[in-house]
Amino acid sequence: DGGITQSPKYLFRKEGQNVTLSCEQNLNHDAMYWYRQDPGQGLRLIYYSQIVNDFQKGDIAEGYSVSREKKESFPLTVTSAQKNPTAFYLCASSMWQGGRTEAFFGQGTRLTVV
Amino acid sequence: AQKITQTQPGMFVQEKEAVTLDCTYDTSDPSYGLFWYKQPSSGEMIFLIYQGSYDQQNATEGRYSLNFQKARKSANLVISASQLGDSAMYFCAMRPQGGGSNYKLTFGKGTLLTVNP
């Protein structure tokens, strides 16, 4: 079945450590996105990518990094520079062009700093 | 810059009644898509409905319809015959479309809908 897979579902990190969240899609989508969601809040865009080896900063990119070495994969690294990383992280993908370009989401990763 | 505004942090509706969730947007792109998503307490994001900026008719998907008023830049979601399972967070989103445009997908802050029995 086609879809987006995020792993792990839950992640605990010690302060000062980097951690990488995985996002893989087999929908042959061009665009991929990372969002952060805090409790009771909306989705804020961290990074997005249209094609391999290209990505753009979203609204809250500081303290995060990404790579897009393969079309199917868009991992997000939460670095030690991110001051308040505890949140729910959602990865999404969509077609780039075409009339209907709704995004499909993974199940999310809950990151907790301990 | 794109912006989505959802002015209703929370809404209540009686089961079997209709409810309208408001969404206004701002963009300078001539072509764009508008989307609504549902997020239950489990956290997953469920796509509900899509409206293209050049679509002549309002979109409908089962019990969901989108009241699109382009001149007013509003894209309200109407849920008919509410069910208990409709209780969730609802997000409005927008993305520019067309060749060469950016593909930034922007979300509003959401509306928490509670359906009462």
Task: Tell me the pLDDT of chain A (114 aa) as tens digits.
Answer: 679 999 999 999 998 899 999 999 999 999 999 999 998 788 999 999 988 999 999 999 999 999 999 999 999 999 988 889 999 999 999 987 666 778 999 999 999 998
pLDDT value of residue B104: 86
Q: What is the pLDDT of residues B2-13, one digit of tens each?
A: 899 999 999 999
Mean pLDDT to the nearest integer, B31-52: 94
pLDDT at B108 over 90: yes
pLDDT value of residue A18: 94
pLDDT value of residue B99: 62
Dihedral of CA atoms A81, A87, A88, A90 in degrees, nearest 10, equals: -30
**Smallest Cα distance from A42 to chain B, Å:** 4
Say yes or no for a CB contact (<8 Å) between B109 and A42: yes
- Chain B interface includes A58 (CB < 8 A): yes
Q: Interface of chain B against chain A, CB under 8 Å?
A: 6, 33, 35, 43-45, 47, 50, 52, 91, 93, 95, 97, 99, 102-110, 112
Q: Which residues of B touch A99 (CB under 8 A)?
A: 33, 52, 97
Tokens encoding A87:
């949140």
A73: how many CB neighbours lie within 10 A of its CB? 14
- Chain B interface includes A5 (CB < 8 A): no
Residue B15 contacts residue B84 (beta carbons within 8 Å): yes
Residue A24 contacts residue A5 (beta carbons within 8 Å): yes
Nearest CA in chain B to A101: B33
Which residues does residue B113 pair with via DSSP β-bridges, in sequence order? Answer: B11, B88
Mean pLDDT to the nearest integer, B57-65: 97
Cα–Cα nearest to B98, from B31, B3, B27? B31
Say yes or no for a CB contact (<8 Å) between B105 and A99: no
Q: Bigger pLDDT: B105 or B101? A: B105
Q: Which residues of A touch B107 (CB under 8 A)?
A: 35, 42-45
Residue B24 gets which letter from DSSP? Answer: E
Q: Report the residue from B44, B97, B106 with minimal CB separation from A101.
A: B97
Residue B11 burial (C-beta neighbours within 10 Å; 0-12, 13-18, 19+): middle
Mean pLDDT to the nearest integer, B9-31: 95
Distance CA(A43)–CA(A8), nearest Å, equals 19
pLDDT value of residue A100: 72
Q: Report the residue from A58, A94, A108 with minimal CB separation from B43.
A: A108
Nearest CA in chain B to A107: B44
Say yes or no for a CB contact (<8 Å) between A42 and B107: yes
pLDDT value of residue A98: 64
Say yes or no for a CB contact (<8 Å) between B103 and A99: no
